[in-house]
Amino acid sequence: MSKFAKKKDAGLPAVNTASLPDIVFMLLFFFMTVTVMKDSTLKVENVLPNASETKKLEKKDRVIYIYVGAPTSQYISQFGKEPKIQLNDKFADPSAVGDYILQERAKKPQELQNVLTTALKVDKNANMGLISDIKQELRKVNALKVNYTTYEGDAFNNLQ
């Protein structure tokens, strides 16, 4: 009798979770190696257009970012629906772009100051007027190398 009773007590054996930390660490290392740190929170809509003839932006340390797009829903009441420029964490006017570039340039090491690229991350619904103003400002401070950041894809998808 006692022999059978014992067996009933044991129930299901616990699943061995000893290797769980290893698995999670593996995931962790994967994400640490393939991702980069976010540098600023986006306050604007930023759906980039597609392009097929792209070049990769190597070397993050020599890139200055400028975001353009309509403010996201939580900022619409404050800033309206028209596309705006975002520099670092703030909304800005086109006239502030020049100062921002000079400021960012001064922060970089001496030897990189002449090889900086300005990456324009512009929402596909923005108008060229604003972009032209930015380009004019960039020319004023002699930041001539620009990169229109895009997604990889067929450029004709933009037209729809």
Considering only residues 1, 5, 32, 106, which one is a binding residue for another protein as defined by CB under 8 A?
32
What is the Cα–Cα distance from 158 to 129, expressed in whole angstroms?
18
Q: 3-class DSSP state for residue 27?
A: helix
Subset of 42-101 contacting another protein (CB under 8 A): 49-59, 63
Q: How many CB atoms lie within 10 A of CB 79?
A: 14
Binding track over 117-136 against another protein, x by CB under 8 A = x-x--xxxxxxxx-xx--xx
Q: Does 34 bind another protein (CB under 8 A)?
A: yes
Considering only residues 103, 113, 114, 142, which one is a binding residue for another protein as defined by CB under 8 A?
142
Question: In this complex, which beta carbon is closest to another protein, that of residue 7 or of residue 56?
Answer: 56
Beta-carbon contacts of residue 100 (< 8 Å; ≥ 6 apart): 66, 87, 88, 92
Q: Tell me the window of 1-9, 87-95, 103-111, 140-148 that interacts with another protein (CB under 8 A).
A: 140-148
Beta-carbon contacts of residue 151 (< 8 Å; ≥ 6 apart): 48, 49, 50, 51
Question: In this complex, which beta carbon is closest to another protein, that of residue 49 or of residue 87?
Answer: 49
Are 48 and 126 in contact, with CB atoms under 8 Å apart? no
Binding track over 90-119 against another protein, x by CB under 8 A = ---------------------------x-x
Q: What's the closest the beta carbon of residue 48 comes to another protein, in angstroms?
A: 8
Subset of 1-30 contacting another protein (CB under 8 A): 17-18, 20-21, 24-25, 27-28
What is the Cα–Cα distance from 88 to 115, expressed in whole angstroms?
20
What is the Cα–Cα distance from 142 to 119, expressed in whole angstroms?
15
